[in-house]
Amino acid sequence: MKICIAGGLLINPKTNTEIITDLWIEDGKIVAIGENPEGEAEQTIDAAGKWIVPGLIDLHVHFREPGFEHKEDIKSGCLAAAKGGFTTVCCMPNTSPVIDNECVVEYIKAMAQKANGVNVLPVGAITKGQQGESLANIGKMYEHGICGVSEDGKTVMDAGLMKKAMQYVKPFNIPIFSHTEDHTLAGGSMNAGENAQLFGIRGIGREAEEIIVSRDIILAKYTGAKLHLSHMSTKGSIELIRAAKAQGIDVTAETAPHYFTLDDSILGDYDTNKKMNPPLRTKEDVEAMKMALKEGIIDVIATDHAPHHYDEKNVEFDKAPFGIVGLETSFAVSYTQLVQTGILTPMELIDKMSTKPAEILGIDKGSIEIGKTADITIIDPEAAYRVDPNTFVSKGKNTPFTGMEVSGEIIYTLVNGNIVYKK
């Protein structure tokens, strides 16, 4: 089928293009930009007043399958991804069984093929069973299609084993996603500080994150591995990353919309839908995340989409599991908080949500060019609405953004030239 996306503002960071034009798609590929190629379109999408951008890419999601399908499964996760404008997602390995061998990798791929077409890239565990004792069979998993390795949900606390993992993955040229949390310094439920004391909740100090950030940067320096630091939340971490990049160390980093939007002062209502790990930090940390995005110290916006069943969250704050959903709110919150406030340009936002993630993964996506696969997102930047978890297609409704007024709505998501979401 030949599709024409007509009259939209094409924003493509890869080629530094920002122009009102038509985009032509045929047989899953981009065949023309601007001028009408031979033949008429079988379907025309009116994109006047809308953005046409490369499909969004999320480096960090938890789809829970296998083992925790009551929270989310790959099918429902892919529906949420498409509604959020994401055409490619990387699913973390803390499932049951853990993604620590090629059989589970193949299972993830098979279930993804039965879903709506969104590209699901498995992330392999660093250690067997995520037990932190011995390396998983990373080489075999790489042969079967993992896009990187991570212990997400946990940290590889043995520095020698983490160094060995970095040395092992370096020849594969895939990133090692670091869950930055020193377990010996964790154990709380919110950010340690004045608000934790005020609310009577045990805190998690910034040092739990920053010690592992520092350690893994040092290991990356000496191994030459591609290190990607997950869910950055503290000002101190930003300073460590800034110094590492100045030294030329191969390190990239992500943060999530909640870390540049919300702070720990909102936890006085003990709403467990605002409990995540790392926790919401202070207003100073929130401002540091915004400036780090503006300066390019933080490379990527990821969601850390972590759905939980209602009953699991409907308990006392200290007993509730960590994690919030984010796929269906990520773009709108990011656009509202970063672009409408002048911190980022539209081009810079799309770079951090599509082009840069593709570069980190080393995949041929994140760009709108003739001959490329037509993974495309169409956005109405002027559409305003209130976040309502009852409208989510994810099984998880655990969002901290309920009732927030946002702008920027996903209108269409196309994967391989096929419409997988239409508002």
The pLDDT tens digits of the residues spanning 384-399 come to: 999 999 999 999 999 9
**Are the C-beta atoms of residues 264 and 195 closer than 8 Å to each other?**
yes
**Are the C-beta atoms of residues 56 and 81 closer than 8 Å to each other?**
no
Residue at token pair 């972590």: 306
Q: What is the mean predicted confidence (pLDDT) over 82-95?
A: 98
Who's near 420: CB < 8 A, 6+ residues apart? 82, 87, 116, 117, 118, 413, 414
Boundaries of CATH 2.30.40.10 in the chain? 2-51+372-422
Query: How many residues in the chain?
Result: 423
Who's near 405: CB < 8 A, 6+ residues apart? 336, 384, 385, 386
| pLDDT band (50, 70, 90) for residue 44 | very high
Percent of the chain with pLDDT over 90: 98
**Are the C-beta atoms of residues 273 and 324 closer than 8 Å to each other?**
yes
Boundaries of CATH 3.20.20.140 in the chain? 55-361
Instruction: Please tell me the CATH code under which domain 55-361 is placed.
Output: 3.20.20.140
| pLDDT band (50, 70, 90) for residue 422 | very high
- pLDDT tens for 19-28 read 999 999 999 9
pLDDT at 1: 86
For the purposes of burial, counting CB atoms within 10 Å of the CB of 6, is it exposed (0-12), middle (13-18) or buried (19 or more)?
middle
What single DSSP character describes residue 389? G
pLDDT at 289: 98
**Are the C-beta atoms of residues 165 and 149 closer than 8 Å to each other?**
yes
Residue 144: is its pLDDT beyond 90? yes
Residue 40: is its pLDDT beyond 90? no
Q: What is the mean predicted confidence (pLDDT) over 8-27?
A: 97
285 has catalytic annotation: no
pLDDT at 390: 98
Residue 191: is its pLDDT beyond 80? yes
User: Diameter of the chain by CA atoms?
Assistant: 68
Residue 173: is its pLDDT beyond 90? yes
Q: What is the pTM of this model?
A: 0.98
Percent of the chain with pLDDT over 70: 100
Q: Which amino acid is residue 343, in one-letter code?
A: I
What class does CATH assign to 2-51+372-422? mainly beta
For the purposes of burial, counting CB atoms within 10 Å of the CB of 32, is it exposed (0-12), middle (13-18) or buried (19 or more)?
middle
Any alpha helices (H) in 296-414, and if so which ranges?
Answer: 310-313, 330-334, 346-350, 356-361
Which entry of 22, 285, 304, 351 is annotated as an active-site residue?
304
Who's near 403: CB < 8 A, 6+ residues apart? 386, 387, 388
Q: What is the DSSP string of 4-42?
A: EEEEEEEEEGGGTEEEEEEEEEETTEEEEESS--SS--S
Residue 285: is its pLDDT beyond 90? yes
pLDDT at 59: 98
Residue at token pair 């109405």: 380
Q: Which amino acid is residue 215, in one-letter code?
A: R
| pLDDT band (50, 70, 90) for residue 414 | very high
Residue 46: is its pLDDT beyond 90? yes
- Alpha-carbon torsion, ordered 5, 9, 10, 13, to 10 deg: -160
Return the percent helix, strand and coil in the chain, to nearest 5. Answer: 35, 25, 40
pLDDT at 35: 83
Q: What is the mean predicted confidence (pLDDT) over 1-12?
A: 96
Q: Which of 123, 112, 30, 31 is nearest to 77 (CA)?
A: 112
Residue 38: is its pLDDT beyond 80? no
